[in-house]
């Protein structure tokens, strides 16, 4: 098949690019012909995330007519849409083509894209996008205070919602996101939950696990080591973890090491809060690359994912599981797809998220060494089945179904 991938960037910029870096070569390896159309030019000095063997084309919005013409001349069997910045461009590009849209986030499902109400306390929102969201926006503090931005964002997201509804198929990484697509008008038969995988893994039938024993750290006992890894933004909940650390029993705190790996607008406040908790070793190594993250995982007893927004999946948990690290997280969004309470870690009630509940879950998790090791072993075993190959095999089936389905009953 001939597949045109539509995306914003051809250089590393976030999770979408990490996903495509793994998936696009795997799609080619199955015998498909692939070209990537990207909106934004690659900045000077930044390398692309795809090899030179995969053709790329610039999808400049100011030259959209020419891009549509080039796309038509290439004659793809399917468009694989991964979120452009201008929904009207997406609508034009996909108007007469079979399209598989990958729902990476809440495009077409929320005015602000956070799917979170801030008042009276931060909590995930489960309502579908519609006129009622405008009435909720200010009272529940769903976004900013600028009414012009609210209206413009609402119009844009409603257009994205239309795009979802007319996509031949909508693919997701989690059952939570599949349900989100359905609640926003996508036909249930055309919303598909594909197997999740760790984008850091190379293309292979099995991921390249450490040849040593990733559970060996449980044989010796130093201080407990727990960590947060991610952006230090409010919705990621690092501040909730910091509050939870302050609520732990003094004896546990004296035997605890906590790492906050990452950066963001909340970092300075977190460092100030850490200085007020004098009896815990708290580190801030900043952003860490893949190799340093792997080193961190080899020393961890527990990953904490304190997100207070409904994570579409929470890929950091899959990365940690591949190193045999169990997790504690709020039960929001797609977290429950990879974290099974009492088997691979501990799920904490997340409506609303509470630092006291998180502290209790961390204490419980570290109270039983034998059980924690069992959780780690289950996490590792489960991770072995989450391969790029399994995901792409399912995706390839969806591409073929999209081309066939569209030829029989094109979606308007």
What's the CA gap between 344 and 364, in Å, rounded?
Answer: 14
User: Do the Cβ atoms of 287 and 262 come closer than 8 Å?
Assistant: yes
Burial of 139 (0-12, 13-18, 19+ CB in 10 A): exposed
Ordered domains of the chain (ranges, CATH): 2-204+388-408 (3.40.50.2000), 216-383 (3.40.50.2000)
User: pTM of the full predicted structure?
Assistant: 0.89
26 Cβ neighbours under 8 A, 6+ residues apart: 203, 388, 389, 391, 392
What's the CA gap between 341 and 360, in Å, rounded?
Answer: 14
User: Do the Cβ atoms of 23 and 195 come closer than 8 Å?
Assistant: no
Residue 260 Rama label (left phi>0; alpha psi -120 to 50; beta): beta
What's the CA gap between 289 and 301, in Å, rounded?
Answer: 20
Phi, psi of 165 (to 5 degrees): -60, -35
Selection from 117, 105, 68 nearest residue 311 by Cα? 105
pLDDT digit string (tens) for 309-351?
999 999 999 999 999 999 999 999 999 999 999 999 999 998 8
Average pLDDT of the chain is 91
Write down the pLDDT at residue 203. Answer: 46
Say if residue 210's pLDDT is above 60. no
Alpha-carbon distances, residue 137 vs 88, 109, 207, 218 (angstroms): 24, 14, 43, 48
Q: Which two tokens stand for residue 409?
A: 């009953």
User: Do the Cβ atoms of 190 and 166 come closer than 8 Å?
Assistant: no
Alpha-carbon distances, residue 403 vs 69, 79, 124, 239 (angstroms): 20, 10, 36, 47
Please give the biggest Cα pair distance in the chain.
69
pLDDT digit string (tens) for 85-141?
989 889 988 888 899 999 999 999 999 999 999 998 888 999 999 999 999 999 999
84 Cβ neighbours under 8 A, 6+ residues apart: 6, 7, 8, 39, 59, 90, 93
pLDDT digit string (tens) for 216-273?
666 566 789 999 999 999 999 999 999 999 999 999 999 999 999 999 999 999 999 9
119 Cβ neighbours under 8 A, 6+ residues apart: 139, 140, 141
115 Cβ neighbours under 8 A, 6+ residues apart: 106, 109, 124, 125, 180, 309, 310, 333
């Amino acid at each position: 098949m001939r597949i045109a991938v539509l995306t914003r960037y051809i250089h590393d910029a976030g999770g979408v690019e990490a996903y495509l870096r793994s998936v696009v070569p795997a799609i080619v390896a199955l015998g498909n012909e692939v070209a990537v159309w990207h909106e934004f030019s690659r900045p000077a000095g930044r390398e692309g995330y795809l090899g030179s063997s995969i053709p790329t084309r610039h999808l400049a919005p100011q030259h959209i007519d020419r891009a549509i013409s080039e796309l038509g001349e290439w004659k793809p069997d399917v468009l694989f849409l991964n979120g452009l910045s201008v929904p009207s461009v997406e609508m034009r590009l996909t108007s007469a083509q079979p399209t598989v849209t990958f729902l990476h986030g809440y495009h077409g499902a929320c005015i602000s894209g956070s799917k979170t109400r801030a008042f009276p306390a931060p909590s995930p929102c489960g309502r579908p996008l519609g006129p009622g969201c405008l009435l909720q926006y200010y009272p529940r503090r769903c976004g900013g205070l600028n009414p012009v931005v609210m209206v413009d964002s609402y119009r844009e997201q409603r257009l994205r919602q239309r795009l979802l509804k007319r996509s031949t198929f909508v693919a997701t990484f989690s059952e939570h996101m599949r349900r989100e697509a359905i609640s926003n008008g996508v036909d249930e038969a055309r919303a598909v939950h594909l197997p999740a995988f760790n984008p850091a893994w190379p293309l292979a039938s099995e991921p390249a696990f450490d040849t040593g024993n990733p559970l060996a750290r449980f044989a010796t006992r130093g201080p407990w080591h727990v960590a947060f890894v991610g952006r230090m933004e409010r919705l990621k909940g690092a501040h909730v973890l910091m509050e939870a650390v302050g609520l732990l029993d003094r004896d546990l705190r004296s035997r605890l090491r906590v790492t906050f790996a990452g950066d963001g607008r909340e970092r300075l406040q977190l460092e100030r809060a850490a200085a007020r908790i004098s009896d815990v070793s708290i580190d801030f190594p900043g952003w860490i690359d893949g190799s340093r993250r792997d080193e961190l995982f080899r020393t961890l007893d527990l990953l904490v994912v304190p997100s207070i927004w409904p994570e579409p999946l929470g890929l950091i948990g899959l990365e940690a599981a591949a190193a045999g690290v169990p997790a504690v997280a709020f039960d929001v969004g797609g977290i429950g797809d990879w974290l099974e309470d009492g088997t691979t870690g501990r799920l904490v009630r997340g409506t609303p998220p509470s630092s006291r509940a998180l502290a209790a879950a961390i204490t419980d998790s570290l109270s039983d060494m034998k059980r924690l090791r069992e959780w780690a072993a289950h996490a590792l075993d489960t991770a072995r089945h989450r391969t790029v190959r399994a995901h792409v095999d399912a995706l390839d089936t969806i591409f073929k179904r999209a081309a066939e389905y569209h030829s029989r009953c094109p979606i308007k």
